[in-house]
């Protein structure tokens, strides 16, 4: 059986002089039947295009906050560290792959930046900007693989096709979230406080972003494993 090659976007720490990908992303892609590779951070766009051509699908990984300038906002006090090199690399990659039908999965920062590149906006800080009668904990205190809130699945969404049920339970490690959904995307799931937790592109074969971290859950949680399996299956 052919194993699809999945290109992952890298983390970058300027102060520690490190470029890396968290091992859980690599393990999840491998467990689902794919071969994960880290895409280059410091290349020109033509070189990135050559690297992207090798890949059958793309995973936009979690990471730092996204520059609010990318969605035409000023930076509020509660916005976290932004990494312009990472924003630029992902912007270049997105422009290379958006007109292909190669599958795309976004996780945490990944769902946020896919939404921004398609014209959507973000809450720069949920506690400071998201008004809700119920205060759910989106930055959970418990460990990575602990489930902490539910996500109500939209019927007929890609997420509902992957896991045909009313809701799933997920972990939550984000202080930013989607505010306005990009025109070409649709909501796939929301938490009980009505925060958008997943979006998909109905015009693409597989284009899905989730706000939680299935890469920390796939070993113990069938819903999370299904997500990676369907992503890899779409990369044929
Ligand atoms: Mn959450």
pLDDT at 11 over 90: yes
Active site residue 55: no
Nearest to 89 by CA among 37, 11, 24: 11
pLDDT at 2 over 90: no
pLDDT at 228 over 90: yes
The pLDDT assigned to 135 comes to: 83
The pLDDT assigned to 219 comes to: 97
Rounded to whole angstroms, the Cα distance separating 55 from 50 reads 9
What is the Å distance from ligand 1's center to 54 Cα? Answer: 33
Rounded to whole angstroms, the Cα distance separating 35 from 28 reads 10
What is the Å distance from ligand 1's center to 70 Cα? Answer: 22
What is the Å distance from ligand 1's center to 3 Cα? Answer: 32
Mean pLDDT for all residues in the chain? 97
The pLDDT assigned to 134 comes to: 86
pLDDT over 90, % of the chain: 95
What is the Å distance from ligand 1's center to 136 Cα? Answer: 8
Active-site option among 215, 216, 230, 235: 215
Tokens encoding 233: 């299956």
The pLDDT assigned to 57 comes to: 98
Nearest to 126 by CA among 78, 170, 77, 83: 78
Domains of the chain as residue ranges with CATH? 5-234 (3.40.50.880)
Region class of 194: left (phi > 0), else alpha (psi between -120 and 50), else beta: left
Enumerate the β-bridge partners of residue 13.
Answer: 18
The pLDDT assigned to 133 comes to: 85
Q: What is the mean pLDDT of residues 163-172?
A: 97
Contact 90, 62 (CB under 8 A): no
What pTM does this model have?
0.97
What is the Å distance from ligand 1's center to 148 Cα? Answer: 8
Active site residue 197: no
Q: What is the mean pLDDT of residues 179-202?
A: 98
| Each residue's pLDDT tens digit, 57-90 | 999 999 999 999 999 999 999 999 999 999 999 9
| Each residue's pLDDT tens digit, 120-135 | 999 999 999 999 888 8
What is the Å distance from ligand 1's center to 48 Cα? Answer: 32
The pLDDT assigned to 130 comes to: 95
Rounded to whole angstroms, the Cα distance separating 85 from 39 reads 13
pLDDT at 34 over 90: yes
pLDDT at 1 over 90: no
Report CA-CA distances (Å) from 93 to 1, 62, 140, 187: 28, 15, 31, 23
Active-site option among 108, 197, 216, 230: 108
Active site residue 108: yes
């Amino acid at each position: 059986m052919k194993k699809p090659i999945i290109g992952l976007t890298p983390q970058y720490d300027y102060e520690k002089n490190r470029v890396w990908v968290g091992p859980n992303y690599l393990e999840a892609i491998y467990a689902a039947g794919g071969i994960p590779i880290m895409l280059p951070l410091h290349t020109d766009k033509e070189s990135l295009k050559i690297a992207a051509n090798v890949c059958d699908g793309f995973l936009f990984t979690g990471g730092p906050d996204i520059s609010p300038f990318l969605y035409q906002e000023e930076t509020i006090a509660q916005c976290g560290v932004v990494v312009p090199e990472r924003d630029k690399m992902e912007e270049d990659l997105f422009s290379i792959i958006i007109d292909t039908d190669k599958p795309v999965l976004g996780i945490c920062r990944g769902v946020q930046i896919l939404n921004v590149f398609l014209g959507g906006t973000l809450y720069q800080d949920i506690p400071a900007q998201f008004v809700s009668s119920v205060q759910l904990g989106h930055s959970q205190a418990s460990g990575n693989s602990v489930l902490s809130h539910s996500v109500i699945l939209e019927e007929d969404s890609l997420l509902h096709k992957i896991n045909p049920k009313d809701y799933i339970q997920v972990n939550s490690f984000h202080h930013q979230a989607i505010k306005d959904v990009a025109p070409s995307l649709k909501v796939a799931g929301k938490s009980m406080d009505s925060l958008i937790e997943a979006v998909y592109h109905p015009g693409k074969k597989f284009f899905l972003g989730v706000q939680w971290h299935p890469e920390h859950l796939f070993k113990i949680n069938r819903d999370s494993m299904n997500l990676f399996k369907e992503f890899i299956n779409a990369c044929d």
